[in-house]
């Protein structure tokens, strides 16, 4: 593995196609995966791991579900890409709309980044305003304006969160602490006429899992509506994973103007979407003035995988993932408690993460104030015992419908010594 990583670093920056895969925050050498099936991934040395990454969310059914693979094979035999509309796109848009009724119209793209970037452009086009509000610690992909990070203070003008993001792009992003509705209210009082949209994750899972406080999302809805701004609910991670209708279906009681999907909706293929009521979506080209396009958008292999996945993701699948998630949360917590490791399990539906600190996490500052070194020791002990966790303390742990008794037992067996490793600095 070390040799392959060395070779990779020679020809690929950091040896990876997406930064978190490089093990930067836990140290060591990433496992290069050669195949995956059900709840397992197999590395290039032929070592099999129980997988709690699930491709960072998409593998809701487990890896390489035979019916999904068959659907993709069948689609591939009919052609890889047409650059023309297909019946499968229509069908997938209908399936999405049946699950999420506010999604009257759907535009397919290839990545979550494109979905949120387009949603922001659409909000600007709809309102004629420039500013966007996002919450510290929420991740919405890597488009310029959404990479702005918080400075100090309650609500700060965004600062570029990456080299190469212009000050001008970041200046149109206002960053507010998560779960702080007073701060958001003050931002609207001061700059309401400038704000095109507030974008928020359904339930944030990119600073670890941080559930919205009761009423937080509804308050965003109320404030945006009062000030003529749009509410964009980013369900790239939660959509079709935490339940058949995503976080919106679990929480209910409010309706955003736009919703973004990714991950599960493409069943492991590069497919994402933005969706909303026709009154907003019709502003997109070719009907309206907001331009957006993509050579591979709505790709037939990706739509086939998405359709097959959503067809199979029935109530039984969600009940299974919910149950396995609750079991694993309890097992991890028991093991850490037995080893006297301070921790909190943060949960939002079946999504959860384990935070290595005593107090619950309400926002990004809380999330950063944890013992990431303890997580790294825990992570490596699990990996040595053939259980692959997400390689960062700031990520959710993902389960699937394929995590059966055998896979769960393998995880449980590994937990006590991983917990002891976490406790020894
Ligand atoms: C909530 C959320 N939005 C957007 C994105 C970006 O999606 P992608 O990585 O497909 O560009 C992610 C990716 O993890 C995400 O979790």
Please give the order of strands across the beta sheet that includes 387-388: 33-37, 40-43, 48-51, 387-388
Distance, CA of 87 to CA of 109 (rounded, Å): 16
Q: Which atom, in ligand 1's list, is nearest to the CA of 112? A: 7
Of 141, 208, 264, the residue with max ligand 1 atoms within 8 A of its CB, to mutate for a pocket test, comes to: 141
pLDDT (average), residues 224-248: 98
Whole-number percent of the chain with pLDDT over 90:
91
Are the beta carbons of 22 and 14 closer than 8 angstroms?
A: yes
Place of tokens 């309102």: 127
Are the beta carbons of 145 and 172 closer than 8 angstroms?
A: yes
5-14, 92-101, 145-154, 282-291: least confidently modelled range: 145-154
Q: How confident is the model at residue 163 (pLDDT cuts 50, 70, 90)?
A: confident
Q: What's 66's DSSP letter?
A: H
User: Would you state the pLDDT for residue 167?
Assistant: 83
pLDDT (average), residues 405-410: 98
Q: Which of 104, 52, 60 is nearest to 266 (CA)?
A: 60
Whole-number percent of the chain with pLDDT over 70:
97
The answer, as to whether pTM is greater than 0.95, is: yes
Q: Which atom, in ligand 1's list, is nearest to the CA of 263? A: 10
pLDDT tens readout for residues 32-70: 999 999 999 999 999 999 999 999 999 999 999 999 999
Of 59, 134, 262, the residue with max ligand 1 atoms within 8 A of its CB, to mutate for a pocket test, comes to: 262
User: Would you state the pLDDT for residue 237?
Assistant: 97
Are the beta carbons of 389 and 382 closer than 8 angstroms?
A: yes
Residues with CB under 6 A from ligand 1: 56, 111-113, 116, 139-141, 201, 206, 234, 236-237, 262, 272
Q: What's 30's DSSP letter?
A: P
pLDDT tens readout for residues 333-355: 999 999 999 999 999 999 999 99
- Residue by residue, DSSP assigns 187-202 as HHHHHGGGEEEEEEES
User: Would you state the pLDDT for residue 151?
Assistant: 34
pLDDT tens readout for residues 166-200: 888 888 999 999 999 999 999 999 999 999 999 99
Where in the sequence numbering do the catalytic residues fall?
139, 234, 263
């Amino acid at each position: 593995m070390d040799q392959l990583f060395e070779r990779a670093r020679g020809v690929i920056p950091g040896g990876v196609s997406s930064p978190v895969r490089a093990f930067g925050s836990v140290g060591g050498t990433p496992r290069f995966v050669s195949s995956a099936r059900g709840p397992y991934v197999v590395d290039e040395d032929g070592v099999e791991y129980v997988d709690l990454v699930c491709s960072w969310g998409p593998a809701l059914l487990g890896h390489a579900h035979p019916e999904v693979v068959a659907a993709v094979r069948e689609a591939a035999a009919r052609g890889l890409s047409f650059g023309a509309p297909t019946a499968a796109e229509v069908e997938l848009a209908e399936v999405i709309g049946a699950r999420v009724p506010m999604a009257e119209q759907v535009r397919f793209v290839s990545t979550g980044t494109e979905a949120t970037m387009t949603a922001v452009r659409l909000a600007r086009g709809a309102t004629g305003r420039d500013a966007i509000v996002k919450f510290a610690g929420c991740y919405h992909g890597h488009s310029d304006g959404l990479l702005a990070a918080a400075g100090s203070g309650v609500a700060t003008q965004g600062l570029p969160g990456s080299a190469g993001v212009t000050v001008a792009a970041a200046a149109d992003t206002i960053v507010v602490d998560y779960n702080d509705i007073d701060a958001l209210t003050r931002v609207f009082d001061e700059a309401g006429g400038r704000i095109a949209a507030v974008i928020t994750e359904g339930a944030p899972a990119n600073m670890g899992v941080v559930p919205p406080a009761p009423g937080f999302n509804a308050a965003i809805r109320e404030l945006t509506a009062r000030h003529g701004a749009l509410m964009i609910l980013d369900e790239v991670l939660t959509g079709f994973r935490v339940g058949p209708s995503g976080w919106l279906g679990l929480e209910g009681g409010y309706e955003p103007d736009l919703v973004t999907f990714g991950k599960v909706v493409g069943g492991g293929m590069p497919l994402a979407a933005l969706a909303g009521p026709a009154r907003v979506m019709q502003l997109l080209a070719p009907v309206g003035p907001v331009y957006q396009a993509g050579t591979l958008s709505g790709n037939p292999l990706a739509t086939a995988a998405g359709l097959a996945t959503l067809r199979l993701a029935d109530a039984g699948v969600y009940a299974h993932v919910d149950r396995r998630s609750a079991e694993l949360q309890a097992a991890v917590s028991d093991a850490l408690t037995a080893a006297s490791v301070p921790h909190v399990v943060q949960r939002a539906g079946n999504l959860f993460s384990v935070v290595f600190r005593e107090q619950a996490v309400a926002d990004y500052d809380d999330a950063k104030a944890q013992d990431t070194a303890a997580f790294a020791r825990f992570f490596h002990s699990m990996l040595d015992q053939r259980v692959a966790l997400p390689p960062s303390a700031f990520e959710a742990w993902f389960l699937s419908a394929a995590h059966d008794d055998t896979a769960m037992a393998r995880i449980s067996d590994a937990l006590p010594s991983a917990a002891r490793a976490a406790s020894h600095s």
